[in-house]
Structure 1
Amino acid sequence: MKKLQEQAIEVLNNNWTGSFSIPCANLYPFQWFWDSGLIAIGFAHFDMPKAEKEIETLLDAQWENGFIPHIIFHTENDSYFPGASFHRSDLHPLASKKYKSTGMTQPPVTGFVLEEMYKISNQKEASLKYIASVIDKVYFNHEYFYKNRDPQNEGLVYIYHNWESGTDNSPIWDDIWETMNPPEYTFERRDTTHVDAAQRPSKREYDHYLHIIEIAKEHNYSDEKIAELSPFLVQDPLFNAMLIKSNESLITLYKLIGGNIDKIEQLKKWQEKSKESFNNKLFDDELGAYIHYDLRNEKPLRYLSSSSFSPLFANIPTKEKADKMIKVMIEKFGGEHQYLCASFDPTSALFNPKKYWRGPVWINLNWMLFNGLNNYGYTDIAERVKQDTISLIKNNGFYEYFDSRKEMHTNGKAGYGGNNFSWSAALLIDLLEK
């Protein structure tokens, strides 16, 4: 394992730019929100200054309303589409003046990342001092969500684009695409010049993605207008679980720092409302797990995905619900010929084990699942997730995602997407340390 760990460290160091990390060379040449957070966890184990700088650079791009964009374009680079000139973050009056970015966000992982960094640190006092210098920005980000992304005041925030979910082309969104008929856009994609097109979203899917951004741009990325007009408006269990987990971490960290009574009280209020709505609205008794809710069309999206189990990581389900979820996960996702945990239900006709978020295993979701299973005392299954994750990387390398079918892993060709992928390396380091 020592060799694997050394390789992971090398991947992270190679993807470090001096002030932030790129997810991988060529395919993703900028800074991504949730990638940066998860990468910092890996750095914390061997280079805390880099972990701290990673988060600092990310938070430096925060908008004046607390929003943090999903991509920050630190450099001019035409190897990625859609880039800064398409997204036009400057249309929003409170956008960062310092950095060009997208007008979308991603799962808010920063709160729990800071707590992970603190747990890993062997210089607790210095780490707490660092955390005290950045934590209010993270709190401000959470405040942005509850003020601007919760139109029904339920404690559940919406995403207005599939890219905000982090699970870009999941079959969950197919129902929403059927309600839309976007124009055919003419554009030159760059991702398929680096990676086999069979592993990426289709051209027609991209038309939908771009159309939603065009609507947001037309209204200068106004949250109010987006809530009113975006054809895509979803309450996502993964996104909301990350927010709830990060709230929990902020409460812990603020208590360690001392003071901040008002912020702690507010975080507790958010938590109470969010968890109650989450369990009442997003848990599907019949399916035995959490699902997405389409707020635009007021209907549940009744599919099982790795996101369905992410609430375990945030301590959201009761023990009874957790038992139900794990039974479903093992029955549908955990067969003897499957690596845990596929990103989409392997028993579904929509399952595609090679195509991005339509079936492959992703290391970040496995890392959450490992921690969540341990939270609830399922240490045996947690260990299986850990060993599956190690096997995938050992057999194939540090890829972006992996085929969930065991029979595909005979010749090291079942890792897909970008190679030498930062969060795969970072989270493997963390798993090996646990």
Structure 2
Amino acid sequence: MSTLLESPVPTAAADLTLRRGAARVLLANWRGGSTIPSRGLYPHQWSWDSAFIAIGLRHLSVRRAQRELETLLAAQWADGRVPHIVFNPAVPLDAYFPSPDFWRSSRAGAGAGAPAAIETSGIVQPPVHALAAWLVHTADPETSRRRGFLERLRPRLAAWHDYLTGPRDLGGGGLTAMVHPWEPGMDNSPAWDGPLARVEPVAPGSYRRADLDHGQSAERPTDLDYGRYVRLAADYRDRGYRDAGHREAAPSAFAVEDPCVNALLIASEHALARITAQTGGDPAPHEERAARLTQALVRRLWSEEHGMFLNRDLVDDRLVPERSAAGLVPLIVPGLPAPVVESLLSTAKGEGFRLGELPMAASYDLRGHAFDASRYWRGPAWFNINWLLERGLRVQGARQEADGLRDAMLDVAGACGFAEYVDPYTAEARGTRDFGWTAALALDLLAARRAAATPAPRAAERDSTPTDSGVRERTSVHL
């Protein structure tokens, strides 16, 4: 795989082939109301997957992108949480574990406001949803306004953010906390090894891992880690999915403040401010909360020594000295102190991540003691994280670096068959293929590259340009 500086100049024919391939993946993974991440391994709807998928779907069908988010938010709990999985009742229980009969959301979560008619998990994932909703809106504002898209989603998004900044401020320092390694999205990151070490795993024979039916064990979490995941999920379920601070809830054995999650919350607060203004409300409270979150992010998670943001283990109240790509994602946050931005950019380009030299940034420090180029979040490069880094580079004015990463990602996406993740050195496919957010984010980057290379359209043409496929492609808009 060539470095960014050696990437071939893209051609219109190559872009068209890539676009058609990405569209094929999303069409094949569509299930009538939402898009599954992949056929086989992930047969239900996942929370942050759907947000990223909606961002790409807006370039194929704005209505379908809106439906993606609407379907997910229809499963929101009364306490505001957006569950990380919405289960399809047509899928057999043994197709995925933990299945609905493990989570028992409609019964175990009744006290926390779980919906009675929809089975979900009881944990959450990173809050990309308001950002996704705003981008979907900007793709076709006329259709959005006619359907009342933002008006219907805004209260749900506001309740989601209230939950994250209220019951989930477990550390009391102004940031949201995650209570399970699946919640930050980077499931078996080395950053969780320390916090997980105090969790007693369930007995190996007490459950069956369906993920190994579809993926190689060398690319998946270990049985020991999985046993700990199951223990944490079962304990949370058994206390009614109540968060610490509730009179009937015990403190979680796993509680962390994650820089990626909180950076996405800040970006989504800024998006929610725009959504609120668009729907006739006052955006100031959301902008003020975004500012408070930004201050708390720097105060609680910034490490000058490591040149990046780190996770905070709330049980021990200390920063976890593991350098994962989560600590670079705050580049998407506007208004960071200039020295922090300078240090982040230096770290991203340094020996630990080699952004601009390797095809895509690794999920964990290349020099780290736990680095593994093939095992899930312990080293492979992921498209959603690199999409966020590309966006962050633009927020911070590093346009040349952003262009290089965008082009490299598009090169890799087509070559790897829209893989779930790739080897950071060789860009060889890892995990499952025809993965939803890889295809979706490739569509978004293609649209951005096309928009950058095309003269600005006249006002009447700005929101709708005919494309090769006969559908209307929207330009990518950066907040």
**Into which bin does the TM-score normalised by the smaller protein fall?**
over 0.9
- Does the 8 Å CA contact 2:349/2:356 hold for their aligned counterparts? no
86-95 vs 164-173, which moves further: 86-95
Normalising by the residue count of structure 2, what TM-score does the alignment of the two structures yield? 0.86
For the residue of structure 2 that corresponds to 1:240, the secondary structure is helix
Equivalent in the alignment of 1:194: 214
Q: 1:270 to 1:29 in 2, by over 3 A?
A: same
1:157-172 equivalence runs, <5 A: 157-172=176-191
Q: Is residue 13 from structure 1 mapped to residue 27 from structure 2 by the alignment?
A: yes
- Does the 8 Å CA contact 2:348/2:355 hold for their aligned counterparts? no
Equivalent in the alignment of 1:273: 292
Q: Is residue 317 from structure 1 mapped to residue 317 from structure 2 by the alignment?
A: no
For the residue of structure 2 that corresponds to 1:223, the secondary structure is coil
The whole-number CA distance in structure 2 between the counterparts of 1:268 and 1:51 is: 26
Q: Is residue 428 from structure 1 mapped to residue 442 from structure 2 by the alignment?
A: yes
For the residue of structure 1 that corresponds to 2:226, the secondary structure is helix
Task: Give 1 or 2: higher helix fraction.
Answer: 1
- Does the 8 Å CA contact 2:171/2:314 hold for their aligned counterparts? no
Decide which of 74, 99, 104 is 2:88's aligned counterpart. Answer: 74
Q: 1:286 to 1:398 in 2, by over 3 A?
A: same
Decide which of 97, 100, 113 is 1:84's aligned counterpart. Answer: 100
For the residue of structure 1 that corresponds to 2:123, the secondary structure is coil
Q: Is residue 248 from structure 1 mapped to residue 248 from structure 2 by the alignment?
A: no
Q: Is residue 28 from structure 1 mapped to residue 54 from structure 2 by the alignment?
A: no
The whole-number CA distance in structure 1 between the counterparts of 2:262 and 2:98 is: 26
The whole-number CA distance in structure 2 between the counterparts of 1:61 and 1:122 is: 25
Q: 1:293 to 1:128 in 2, by over 3 A?
A: farther
- Does the 8 Å CA contact 1:159/1:235 hold for their aligned counterparts? yes
Q: Deviations over 1:151-195 (max 9, x none)?
A: 343220110000001000001011112223334232211111111
1:115-130 equivalence runs, <5 A: 115-121=134-140, 123=142, 126=145, 129-130=148-149
Instruction: Give the Å deviation of 1:316.
Output: 5.3
Q: 1:125 to 1:49 in 2, by over 3 A?
A: closer
Instruction: Give the Å deviation of 1:294.
Output: 0.3
- Does the 8 Å CA contact 2:188/2:377 hold for their aligned counterparts? yes
Instruction: Identify unmatched segments of 5+ residues in structure 2.
Output: 1-14, 449-479
The whole-number CA distance in structure 2 between the counterparts of 1:374 and 1:420 is: 28
Q: Deviations over 1:288-332 (max 9, x none)?
A: 111100001111012211111111113252232111111111112
Decide which of 370, 387, 411 is 1:391's aligned counterpart. Answer: 411
- Does the 8 Å CA contact 2:47/2:72 hold for their aligned counterparts? yes
Instruction: Give the Å deviation of 1:11.
Output: 0.5
1:43-54 equivalence runs, <5 A: 43-54=57-68
Equivalent in the alignment of 1:351: 371
User: How many percent of aligned residue pairs carry the same amino acid?
Assistant: 31
Equivalent in the alignment of 2:7: none
The whole-number CA distance in structure 2 between the counterparts of 1:251 and 1:244 is: 11
Normalising by the residue count of structure 1, what TM-score does the alignment of the two structures yield? 0.94
1:272-421 equivalence runs, <5 A: 272-315=291-334, 317-331=336-350, 332-334=352-354, 338-406=358-426, 409=427, 414-421=428-435
The whole-number CA distance in structure 2 between the counterparts of 1:307 and 1:167 is: 8
The whole-number CA distance in structure 1 between the counterparts of 2:435 and 2:321 is: 31
Instruction: Give the Å deviation of 1:356.
Output: 0.7
Task: Give the root-mean-square deviation of aligned CA atoms.
Answer: 1.7
Q: Deviations over 1:203-224 (max 9, x none)?
A: 1101110111121122111113
The whole-number CA distance in structure 2 between the counterparts of 1:393 and 1:357 is: 18
The whole-number CA distance in structure 2 between the counterparts of 1:229 and 1:418 is: 36
Decide which of 61, 64, 73 is 1:59's aligned counterpart. Answer: 73
The whole-number CA distance in structure 1 between the counterparts of 2:238 and 2:138 is: 44
Amino acid in the other structure paired with 1:417: G
Q: Deviations over 1:81-105 (max 9, x none)?
A: 1111111212122111121111100
Q: 1:15 to 1:26 in 2, by over 3 A?
A: same
Instruction: Give the Å deviation of 1:33.
Output: 0.4
Matched pairs, number: 425
